Amino acid sequence: MDDLAARRCAAVLGIPVRGTLGIVLIAKQRGKITMARPVIENLRSSGMYLSDRVINQALALVGE
C-alpha cells in the first residue's frame, strides 16, 4: 500500500499514525527493546533515510 495514501486515509478516519521511528521509540519506552540506537542504526544501514538531527532528537526522547 502506498504510504501517503494510507496516511491520508487514516487522517480522514481519525486513526493516529505512527512511523517506523515512532514504533522503535515506543518499544524502548515500554521495555520491549533495551536500546533504540542499534535498531535505528540498523534501519539506517538498510536504506531508511534518517538525518543525524532526527536520530539525535529521537534518542534524546528515550534517554539515549
pLDDT confidence bin for 64, thresholds 50/70/90 = very high
Query: What percent of the chain has pLDDT above 90?
Result: 86
Say yes or no to pLDDT of 16 above 80.
Answer: yes
Say yes or no to pLDDT of 2 above 80.
Answer: no
What are the residues whose beta carbons fall under 8 Å from the beta carbon of 1, sequence distance 6 or more?
A: none
